[in-house]
């Protein structure tokens, strides 16, 4: 692959060519959602203009083409995360729905009163609330592994908490609030040594680093399409085929059945068993195009580019008096979250916004984590494949002015 040239890459993103309030857009909110390359927009339009029909039911050419492209998108996702079999890829709406699917199907079916689900203190609400719902329904217990002040998982404590009562582990790969990259390989190894399955929330990882679910030996791996430069409304659950075969359906309806009478229903094999109703066909096509785009640049190149920017940004922000970086893990990705003494993070975000710098401020759907850190919220800049040094310079310059 050719070396990564950010200026060339930026030209692939129409939105980056448009001024906002008369200024060039400095987009530092990729952790919330990534901008879309023209390849994604074009392929979705092309598909709807030339190949669109509902899938699976058709006997005519267009529906067969549409079905073939939907299946091809599934294959593309499987290759992207190195799943051994495309039947291990279930399309859902987003990472949130993915975790809900696993909690509702695997959790409801296999977990019993008194069983523990082990998560961490840095989870997104999407990896907390579904387990709380399951707790209400089934009487399971939710246990939380602690983190250090730097925002790293306390691995000794994690290991100690892996008792006989733990029947499921669900952890974030990369923290959206801290940027911490968790040692998921080690987590899986420790859990599997005790026969415990592991779900990894890869929402903030899949866009930044190569992911290999077989190498990780993950039981479940979930992420959202909109954060890997694809459209909204499409997400992915990877699950080992043996789990998908054993799990009951999550929702019932068309496309997930093979035979229905009023007395009983035979379900389709996975992954169709978990895709009730007309799926987000266009979204899946767009996600496939996004993955093709990202893969053409190369995740390793993207990772190198972003790591250099993270180091650069960390240095610049450290020099700003009164600014404190939140999240200083040794293994870190793409997130520059901070607080400034005496200034409300929301005000910082709004002031940056007026200067054309798009960042996010708040609890970032990690309120328990904010509680642990003793702060109500942070301002968060996040890096994507199109981020430049100039973007980081603009952030630092504006922050100095705001102070
Ligand atoms: N987990 C993490 C770590 C996230 O960053 C996000 C998105 N902020 C989610 C889960 C949920 O993603 P979505 O809103 O696309 O379902």
CA 201 to ligand 1: nearest atom: 1
pLDDT in tens, 92-127: 999 999 999 999 999 999 999 999 999 999 999 999
Residue nearest to atom 8 of ligand 1 (CA): 32
pTM for the whole structure: 0.97
Expressed in angstroms and rounded, the spacing between residue 97 Cα and the centre of ligand 1 is 10
Better-scored residue on pLDDT, 39 or 22:
39
Catalogue the long-range contacts made by 297-302 (C-beta closer than 8 Å, 24 or more residues apart).
297/1, 297/4, 297/9, 297/385, 298/1, 298/4, 299/208, 299/209, 299/210, 300/210, 301/1, 301/3, 301/4, 302/4, 302/207, 302/208, 302/385
Q: How far is Cα of residue 67 from the mean position of the Cα atoms in its chain?
A: 26
Predicted-assembly ipTM surpassing the 0.90 threshold: yes
pLDDT in tens, 34-76: 999 999 999 999 999 999 999 987 789 999 999 999 999 999 9
Can you tell me the distance from the alpha carbon of 320 to that of 23, in angstroms, rounded to the nearest whole number? 24
Expressed in angstroms and rounded, the spacing between residue 226 Cα and the centre of ligand 1 is 10
Q: In what order do the strands lie in the sheet with 198-201?
A: 89-92, 235-239, 220-224, 198-201, 166-172, 116-120, 141-145
- Compute and round to an integer the Cα radius of gyration of the chain: 22
pLDDT in tens, 167-183: 999 999 999 999 999 99
Quickly state the pLDDT bin for 3 (edges 50, 70, 90). confident
pLDDT value, residue 302: 98
Residues with active-site annotation: 365
pLDDT in tens, 276-294: 999 999 999 999 999 999 9
The set of protein residues with a Cβ atom below 6 angstroms from ligand 1 is 94-96, 124, 126, 172, 176, 201, 203-204, 224, 365
The alpha-helical segments, DSSP class H, found in 203-280 are 213-216, 241-246
Expressed in angstroms and rounded, the spacing between residue 301 Cα and the centre of ligand 1 is 24
């Amino acid at each position: 692959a050719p070396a990564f040239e950010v200026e060339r890459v930026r030209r692939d993103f129409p939105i980056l060519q448009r001024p906002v309030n008369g200024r060039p857009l400095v987009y530092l909110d990729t952790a919330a959602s990534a901008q879309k390359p023209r390849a994604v927009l074009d392929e979705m339009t092309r598909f709807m203009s030339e190949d669109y029909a509902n899938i699976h039911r058709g006997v005519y050419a267009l529906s067969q083409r549409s079905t073939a492209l939907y299946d091809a998108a599934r294959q593309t996702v499987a290759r992207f995360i190195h799943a051994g079999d495309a039947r291990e890829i279930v399309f859902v709406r987003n990472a949130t729905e993915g975790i809900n699917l696993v909690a509702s199907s695997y959790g409801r079916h296999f977990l019993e009163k008194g069983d523990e689900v082990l998560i961490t203190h840095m989870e997104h609400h999407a990896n907390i609330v579904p387990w709380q719902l399951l707790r209400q329904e089934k009487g399971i217990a939710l246990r939380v592994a602690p983190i250090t002040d730097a925002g790293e998982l306390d691995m000794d404590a994690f290991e100690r908490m892996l008792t006989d009562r733990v029947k499921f582990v669900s952890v974030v790969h990369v923290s959206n609030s801290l940027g911490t990259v968790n040692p998921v390989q080690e987590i899986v190894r420790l859990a599997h040594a005790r026969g415990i399955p592991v779900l990894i929330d890869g929402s903030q990882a899949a866009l930044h680093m190569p992911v290999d679910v077989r190498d990780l030996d993950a039981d479940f791996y979930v992420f959202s399409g909109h954060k890997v430069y694809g459209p909204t409304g499409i997400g992915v659950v990877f699950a080992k085929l043996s789990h998908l075969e054993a799990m009951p359906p999550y929702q019932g309806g068309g496309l997930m059945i093979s035979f229905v009478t009023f007395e009983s229903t035979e379900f389709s094999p996975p992954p169709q068993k978990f895709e009730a109703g007309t799926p987000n066909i266009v979204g899946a096509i767009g996600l496939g195009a996004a993955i093709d785009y990202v893969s053409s640049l190369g995740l390793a190149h993207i990772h190198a580019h972003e790591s250099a920017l993270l180091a650069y940004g960390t240095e610049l922000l450290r020099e700003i008096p009164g600014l404190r970086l939140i999240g200083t893990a040794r293994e870190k990705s793409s997130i520059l979250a901070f607080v400034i003494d005496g200034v409300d993070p929301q005000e910082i975000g709004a002031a940056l916004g007026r200067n054309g710098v798009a960042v996010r401020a708040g609890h970032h759907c990690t309120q328990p984590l904010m509680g642990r850190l003793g702060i109500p919220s942070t301002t968060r800049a996040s890096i994507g494949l199109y981020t430049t040094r100039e973007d980081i310079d603009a952030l630092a310059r504006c922050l100095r002015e705001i102070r």
